[in-house]
Structure 1
């Protein structure tokens, strides 16, 4: 009975019983390199698709923001025209300006509160979401 184990370094052989450990490690490294190259190519293609998608989102988002801005301007002008009819132009302008300043102050306070909350979360001072 011949129970010789295959040598540590041997000629390249397709028979698993005759392959050496070094050949198996070389094959494993080659397979790992192939897997890494395939994964990199896959991630590059995903990044390209995400880039094209992000560009479209940015363009349509900018258009939506511009339309919202113009809609608000039309609303403000309409409010000025209606109020000017009843209150006069100076009082109507003051009233619309006051309402806009109060809305701005409310938004600024909400933004400051969100910023403080986020800063506490990042500093691990407020673990609750």
Structure 2
């Protein structure tokens, strides 16, 4: 039913402790060199990708900006026929300023919350 365990007839090479430590150091050096080469390759890849990501992100932000300007221009043109060109310009400007103010206040609140969470009260007010 159960086979008896095979006998372990291992021949142990006669290696001195100093030789064993030399071999271990050599293997550790080889491993460290391979790890360094691997990390350099990773860093080069990440550097190349970060440049591409930054380029695409910048281009996306530029196109979003142009799209928003087209929207504002369309808003002003549409309102100009209803309330006049000066009033339409004022409405568009005030709407954009209100959105900017709301976003700025939200950012300010988040900065304060982050500072208090980190316990870095710096004493200054934003």
With the shorter chain as reference, the TM-score category is 0.7 to 0.9
The residue matched to 1:33 in structure 2 has which SS? helix
Unaligned 5+ residue runs, structure 2?
Answer: 1-10, 122-126
- Aligned match of 1:101 in 82, 97, 100? 97
Worse-superposed segment, 112-121 or 95-104: 112-121
In structure 2, distance between residues paired with 1:27 and 1:53: 39
- Aligned match of 2:39 in 39, 43, 51? 43
Alignment coverage as a number of residue pairs: 111
Unaligned 5+ residue runs, structure 1?
Answer: 1-14
TM normalised by structure 2 equals: 0.81
Task: Determine the structure 2 residue equivalent to 1:61.
Answer: 57
Deviation track 1:73-124 (CA, whole Å, cap 9, x = no partner) reads: 0011111111111001111111111111110100101111121222223238
TM normalised by structure 1 equals: 0.79
Query: Which runs of 4 or more aligned residues in structure 1 lie more than 3 Å from their structure 2 counterparts after TM superposition?
Result: none
What is the root-mean-square deviation of aligned Cα atoms in Å?
1.8
In structure 2, distance between residues paired with 1:43 and 1:106: 44
In structure 1, distance between residues paired with 2:47 and 2:20: 40
